[in-house]
């Protein structure tokens, strides 16, 4: 324990030298006053070792690019803590977070007794209004709430990260975006108790390529419309991803509410599902998953392509397109789908309030209540 405390002290000195020329003694460290001509002061480094650290926020604006070199382990205090975010970067243009190190959210005790539908617990790493970010190689382990959140800002790449929490840990989404644009999530491994990647309101041009998910709930757009002022999502490209033992494969979910947002221009391409419960699903009859929904979703879903989705389902309905009677889905295309039932039976499709365009071979067979425009 003594060595921990000693390490924390060292760490705080680092923080103060590099990020804290202005407001010392506070939990907000301003990074704008370091000497931009001195490259060393633009690198914050966590060397080998384990360092316990309370919630902390690094606030810009900065005068140049900042590098956070994580080679050791930063460890959150155990149990529930009274903070939305544990490590937060705010208002930074040019941020690199890299290294072989780990953010350990110490979630185990925080998850105990967490009720379904309760507000989410503390996020491990939050980028808020960060532009030109690059997160690479790091590991995020056992976050209390979400692992990584990208809120607003954009032009950010997340690659070669490893995210891990048990399959039964509550609301431990891997990566969540909202209000952010031009985000690339590449070549990463994510296993959690909730969504692998969740794309929230206001996300634009999100490119997810080469990601392996599982366990967890798969890659999700949504939920959209929980708040009536949720913004629209447009431009989501998911390519070359594998879902292993996930509740859903690729999903769009919108709330039954008056929210008038839209979800448009989405492509799921070259997706492998391995024992997924709902490999392809649009769920517009969603209200949190804990009660019967009242009313209809007013979110318009349009121009969504599923191209080359193959693998196995553990439930017979492998394709479920449950659109809203209020706003039937438009421009939905299924191209070359091959999903068999894990234990060998037939898979089926279920569609409501949608006319699907089919191209290429289809297993499960197409929806009988749909128009088969290019059915082969």
The residue among 172 and 296 lying less far from ligand NAG, judged by its C-beta, is 296
Site string for ligand NAG, 207-226 (x = CB under 6 A): x-x-----------------
Instruction: Return d(Cα 148, Cα 55) in angstroms, integer.
Output: 14
Distance CA 357, CA 305 (A): 9
CB-based contacts of 2, cutoff 8 Å, min separation 6: none
Q: Work out how close the CB of 268 gets to ligand NAG at its nearest, in angstroms, rounded to a whole number.
A: 12
Distance of closest approach, residue 82 Cβ to ligand NAG, in angstroms: 38
d(CA 15, CA 311): 48
| Residue given tokens 């929904």 in the structure block | 293
What minimum distance in Å lies between the beta carbon of 300 and ligand NAG?
Answer: 12
**Least distance from C-beta 323 to ligand NAG, angstroms?**
7
Which residue number, 274 or 330, has a Cβ lying nearer to ligand NAG?
330
Nearer to ligand NAG, 18 or 299 (CB): 299
Q: How far is the CB of 209 from ligand NAG (least distance, A)?
A: 4
Integer Cα distance of 147 and 172 in angstroms: 6
- Pair 266, 236: CB distance under 8 Å: yes
* Residue placing its CB nearer to ligand NAG in the complex, 186 or 341: 186
134 among known catalytic residues: no
Q: Please, what sign has the CA dihedral across residues 25, 26, 27, 33? A: negative
Q: Report if residue 363 touches ligand NAG, rule: CB under 6 A.
A: no
Q: Which of residues 27-66 bind ligand NAG (CB under 6 A)?
A: none
Q: What is the Cα–Cα distance from 284 to 153, expressed in whole angstroms? A: 28
Nearest to 80 by CA among 171, 177, 175, 216: 171
Identity of the residue, 71 or 303, whose beta carbon is nearer to ligand NAG in the bound complex = 303
Contacts of 340 (CB under 8 A, 6+ apart): 311, 312, 313, 347, 363
In the shown chain, the binding pattern of residues 102 to 141 toward ligand NAG, with x for contact by CB under 6 A and - for none, equals: ----------------------------------------
165-184 residues near ligand NAG, rule: CB under 6 A: 184
Whether residue 199 contacts residue 229, with contact meaning beta carbons closer than 8 Å, is answered with no
* Subset of 325-344 contacting ligand NAG (CB under 6 A): 328
Catalytic residue set: 217
Binding residues for ligand NAG (CB under 6 A): 184, 186, 207, 209, 237, 328, 353-355, 371
């Amino acid at each position: 324990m003594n060595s921990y405390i000693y390490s924390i002290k060292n760490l705080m000195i680092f923080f103060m030298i590099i990020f804290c020329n202005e407001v010392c003694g506070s939990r907000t460290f301003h990074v704008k006053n370091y000497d931009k001509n001195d490259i060393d002061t633009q690198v914050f480094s966590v060397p080998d070792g384990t360092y316990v650290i309370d919630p902390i926020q690094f606030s810009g604006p900065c005068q140049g690019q900042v590098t956070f070199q994580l080679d050791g382990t930063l460890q959150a205090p155990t149990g529930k803590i009274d903070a939305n975010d544990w490590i937060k970067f705010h208002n930074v243009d040019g941020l690199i977070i890299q290294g072989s190190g780990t953010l350990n959210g110490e979630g185990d005790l925080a998850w105990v007794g967490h009720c379904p539908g309760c507000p989410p617990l503390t996020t491990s790493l939050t980028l808020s209004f960060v532009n030109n970010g690059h997160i690479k190689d790091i590991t995020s382990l056992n976050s209390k709430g979400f692992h990584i959140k990208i809120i607003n800002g954009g032009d950010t790449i997340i690659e070669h990260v490893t995210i891990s929490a048990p399959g039964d840990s509550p609301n431990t989404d891997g990566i969540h975006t909202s209000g952010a644009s031009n985000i690339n999530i590449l070549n990463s491994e994510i296993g959690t108790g909730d969504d692998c990647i969740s794309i929230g309101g206001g996300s634009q041009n999100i490119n997810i390529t080469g990601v392996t998910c599982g366990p967890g709930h798969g890659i999700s757009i949504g939920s959209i419309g929980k708040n009536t002022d949720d913004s629209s999502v447009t431009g989501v490209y998911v390519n070359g991803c594998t879902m292993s033992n996930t509740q859903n494969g690729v999903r769009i979910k919108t709330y039954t509410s008056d929210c008038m947002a839209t979800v448009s221009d989405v492509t799921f391409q070259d997706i492998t599902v391995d024992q997924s419960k709902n490999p392809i699903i649009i769920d517009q009859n969603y209200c949190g998953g804990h009660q019967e929904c009242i009313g209809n979703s007013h979110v318009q879903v349009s121009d969504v392509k599923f191209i080359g989705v193959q693998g196995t389902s553990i439930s017979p309905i492998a394709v479920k397109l449950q659109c809203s009677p209020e706003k039937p889905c438009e421009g939905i295309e299924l191209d070359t789908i091959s999903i068999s039932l894990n234990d060998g039976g037939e898979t089926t499709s279920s569609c409501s309030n949608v006319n699907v365009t089919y191209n290429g071979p289809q297993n499960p067979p197409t929806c009988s209540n749909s128009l088969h425009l290019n059915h082969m």
